Chains A and B, each alone.
Chain A
């Protein structure tokens, strides 16, 4: 996977000086990051350090207070004097970026199949039959070929999260965002979701993953970003950052995970 992440390759996402304040609280305080096509970037850091806010700024679920964001060929400046995309323009921007959330957030009034079809049918106005073919393939890919007719409440957490991943992938996004997608799962269900994510990474999906699964970061990430108090305190190749952190704050954060990082040698 690391060969996909060669710097100088095709830059898919470029974030420069991104800031986000909620009133007087500044959740993200000047973050810059490049993500290359096909690269897997893992973002780690203590709870409340601004990881979710950073991720939500990338697909504009939050409006950044300042900075510049480029996704694909679209560049947007934020702050005084700049206007945010709105309405259909904003929706189109988001449609190119998939996102998976901690709480799955499946649509409860639709089956697994309906959930996965929802993006293509509602957003892309694709014919139902065509969308169904895509959705069935994706559900089969995440190991849920036999669960297409189930409603979310009839599925385990791990199954729901796999449906959520398929739902996002059905839009054929250029970029996938994962926000602690295994944190709400029972420990025995974490593996099945991480396996799906690993497969996506192997296929060359560009991903930004916020996670506390250090073994996943070690095995799958091309690039690891460590955040603390709204800023990037360290970043680099997974092996360097996770095993030989230079920043004392990274080291102290990672010390809680060292058993996990070392348990399975890459």
Chain B
């Protein structure tokens, strides 16, 4: 009467899985890099205390931090094409949503890292005669980046998990691949267990590495 596990079936879809895994990783890396670029640019711009510049950036950041990512992805897929009056392929809509989401968190991480540097460092650099650029490059950023790395790595790990939401717009990532294999094999237990195991196999070492690095930066 006990359930008879059968993982053999799962392995016969190896090519499928590899492709799904590849898409999950590609979206993770791509949207994290895109988000990093947005974060650096927006975070830098926030340092210029001009209202016309900071207000729209704060609006963007709060908008993406305070709405669920699932809603954003669905909105980008179904609503944005209507707003722009262009057809947006699913892979692009979803990628855009994920990137902007990562960007909003990266902006806060970047800004937070910069403003966490003691005001004495800024005044000492200025008193020596450094320009803003020299001060940023040689004094502030070297110290701030060290503090930005742990939260950024943590956010990237969360981002990898979030790519599973690609499922809702039928981008064939790891999660969506799982659903296809299920409809083929009618083995949800084995399939979704395997999906979870694959995420775990990637995320657990990353998480371990991140907390080790965090401890190193703290000391």
Contacts and interface: CB of A to CB of B under 8 A. Distances in A.
A123 B133 CA distance: 11
A25 interface: no
B210 to A, nearest CB: 22
B139 A123 contact: no
Most chain A CB within a 10 A radius of its CB, from B127, B134, B142, B143: B127
B165 to A, nearest CB: 39
B138 A122 contact: yes
Contact of B134 (A99, A122, A164, A171): A122
B35 to A, nearest CB: 26
B127 A98 contact: yes
User: Number of contact residues on B: which range applies?
Assistant: 10 to 19
Interface string A89-102: 00111111111010
A237 to B, nearest CB: 29
Given A108-B143, A109-B143, A91 B127 contact: no
Interface stretch (B90-98, B116-124, B181-189): B116-124
A163 B143 CA distance: 19
A35 interface: no
Contacts of A101: 120, 123-124, 127
A256 interface: no
Most chain B CB within a 10 A radius of its CB, from A92, A105, A109: A105
A59 B127 contact: yes
Interface in A159-182: 164, 167-168, 171
A56 to B, nearest CB: 8
Contacts of B134: 91, 122-123
B7 to A, nearest CB: 51
A92 B131 CA distance: 9
B126 interface: yes
Nearest to A100: B127
Contacts of B142: 109
Nearest to B119: A105
Contact of A123 (B118, B120, B128, B143): B128
Interface string B135-173: 000110011000000000000000000000000000000
B143 A94 contact: no
Nearest to B142: A109
Contacts of A168: 127-128
B129 A119 contact: yes
A108 B131 CA distance: 19
A87 interface: yes
A103 interface: yes
Contacts of A167: 128
B135 to A, nearest CB: 9
B120 A95 contact: no
A154 to B, nearest CB: 14
Contact of B124 (A92, A105, A123): A105
A61 interface: yes
B123 A61 contact: yes
A82 interface: no
Contacts of A39: none
B121 to A, nearest CB: 6
B143 A105 contact: no
Contacts of A95: 128-129
A265 interface: no
B130 A99 contact: no
Contact of A107 (B121, B123, B126, B127): B121
A109 B145 CA distance: 12
A88 interface: yes
Given A61-B126, A109-B142, A123-B129, 9 more contacts: A61-B123, A91-B126, A92-B129, A94-B126, A105-B118, A105-B120, A118-B139, A119-B129, A123-B134
Interface of B: 118, 120-121, 123-132, 134, 138-139, 142-143
